[in-house]
C-alpha cells in the first residue's frame, strides 16, 4: 500500500471513530455524496480537501500523518501485569514517563540521578515491554500509538489516585503557569456524552501541542499535567441532606 493510500485509510478510520459519514464529508466539501465516494474509492484528494476534512474533525494534518505512521502495530496499552511491573520499580516508572513524553537518552541522564548504565538497563526493560525500540547510539524510538493510554482502574491509574493526586492538588493554582476550573451543573446523559467528546478533543489538542513543541530544546519545555474529569456525582455531605424519597429515586 502506498503512503497516499495509507493516509486515506487512516482518514476513513478517523471518520468512523467520530461517527462521521460520506454525507458529512460531502457537505463539508460542497460535493455530492457520489463524488465523495468516488474520491475515497480512487484515493485521490487534493491537499486543500484533506485539510478541510481534518479541520472538521478537529484534527491537525500533522496528527493524521503521525497516526498513519503509527499503524496498527503500535502499542495502545499495556497489560495489568506490565503496568504493575512499572509501578513496582520507581526508576522504571520515571524512565517510562520520560520516554513517552519524548525525552532523549541524554536528557534523561542529565536531568535525573541515573547513571548511563542504569538508564540503559531501564530502557532495555521498556524495550521488552514494546514501549520503545533502543537504537544504536542510545537513540530511542517510541512504539506507542498516538492514542496510547494506561489501563482504566489499572496499576498506573491507581498509583496516581493514591500517591499523586493529593500532591497535584496541593496548590493554590494562582501562578501564571497554573489554572484550576471547577464546573458544576445539571446535564442529561446525552449532554454528559457530548461533554466527554469535548474533553476528548481537548486531550487531542494537548497531545498535538506537545508534538508541535517536541523540537524545542528540553530546557524550554516543562512537565505539564492537565486533569480532565467528569462524573455524575454529588458531594457526600449534600447526599446526606437529600430527602429519603428522593434518595431512593
For the chain, what's the residue count? 249
Q: What is the CATH number of the domain that holds 130?
A: 1.10.10
Residues 52 and 123 sit within 8 Å (Cβ to Cβ): no
Phi-psi region of 30 (alpha: psi -120 to 50; beta: other; left: phi over 0): left
What count of other Cβ atoms lies within 10 Å of the Cβ of residue 118? Answer: 15
Of 168, 184, 207, the residue that ends a domain is: 168
Same domain (yes/no): 80, 50: no
Grid coordinates standing for 32?
A: 455530492
Grid coordinates standing for 143?
A: 512504539
Same domain (yes/no): 129, 99: yes
- Residue 1, pLDDT > 80, answer no
**Would residue 129 count as lying in a domain?**
yes
Angstrom distance (rounded) from CA 36 to CA 23: 8
- Residue 14, pLDDT > 60, answer yes
Same domain (yes/no): 131, 180: no
Same domain (yes/no): 177, 157: no
**What is the tally of structural domains in the chain?**
3
> Residue 71 — pLDDT band, cuts 50, 70, 90?
low
Q: What is the CATH number of the domain that holds 51?
A: 1.10.260
**Would residue 108 count as lying in a domain?**
yes
Give the residue with greater pLDDT, 50 vs 66: 50
- Residue 139, pLDDT > 80, answer yes
Same domain (yes/no): 220, 158: no
**Would residue 245 count as lying in a domain?**
no
Of 50, 70, 90, the residue that ends a domain is: 70
Return the closest-CA partner of residue 215 out of 108, 66, 67, 102. Answer: 102
Please give the residue range of the domain that contains residue 43: 3-70
Same domain (yes/no): 85, 161: yes
Cell numbers 492537565: residue = 226
Return the closest-CA partner of residue 13 out of 52, 90, 70. Answer: 70
> Residue 242 — pLDDT band, cuts 50, 70, 90?
low
- Residue 15, pLDDT > 80, answer yes
Return the closest-CA partner of residue 183 out of 238, 236, 227, 149. Answer: 227
User: For the residues 129-157, what does the mean pLDDT come to?
Assistant: 85
**Would residue 26 count as lying in a domain?**
yes
Same domain (yes/no): 42, 8: yes
Of 41, 70, 99, the residue that ends a domain is: 70
Amino acid at each position: 500500500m502506498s503512503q497516499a493510500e495509507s493516509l486515506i485509510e487512516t482518514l476513513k478510520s478517523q471518520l468512523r471513530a467520530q461517527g462521521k459519514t460520506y454525507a458529512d464529508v460531502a457537505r463539508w466539501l460542497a460535493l455530492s455524496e457520489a463524488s465523495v465516494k468516488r474520491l475515497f474509492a480512487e484515493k485521490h484528494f487534493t491537499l486543500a480537501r484533506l485539510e478541510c476534512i481534518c479541520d472538521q474533525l478537529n484534527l491537525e494534518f500533522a496528527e493524521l500523518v503521525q497516526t498513519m505512521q503509527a499503524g496498527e502495530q503500535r502499542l495502545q496499552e499495556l497489560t495489568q501485569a506490565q503496568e504493575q511491573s512499572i509501578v513496582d520499580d520507581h526508576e522504571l516508572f520515571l524512565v517510562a514517563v520520560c520516554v513517552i513524553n519524548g525525552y532523549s537518552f541524554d536528557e534523561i541522564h542529565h536531568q535525573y540521578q541515573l547513571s548511563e548504565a542504569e538508564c540503559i538497563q531501564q530502557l532495555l526493560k521498556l524495550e521488552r515491554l514494546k514501549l520503545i525500540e533502543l537504537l544504536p547510539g542510545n537513540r530511542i524510538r517510541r512504539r506507542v500509538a498516538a492514542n496510547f493510554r494506561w489501563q482504566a482502574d489499572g496499576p498506573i491509574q491507581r498509583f496516581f489516585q493514591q500517591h499523586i493526586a493529593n500532591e497535584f492538588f496541593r496548590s493554590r493554582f494562582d501562578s501564571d503557569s497554573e489554572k484550576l476550573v471547577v464546573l458544576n451543573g445539571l446535564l442529561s446523559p446525552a449532554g454528559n456524552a457530548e461533554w466527554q467528546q469535548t474533553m476528548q478533543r481537548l486531550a487531542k489538542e494537548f497531545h498535538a501541542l506537545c508534538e508541535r513543541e517536541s523540537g524545542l530544546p528540553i530546557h524550554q519545555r516543562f512537565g505539564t499535567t492537565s486533569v480532565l474529569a467528569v462524573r455524575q456525582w454529588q458531594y457526600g455531605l449534600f447526599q446526606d441532606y437529600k430527602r429519603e424519597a428522593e434518595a431512593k429515586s
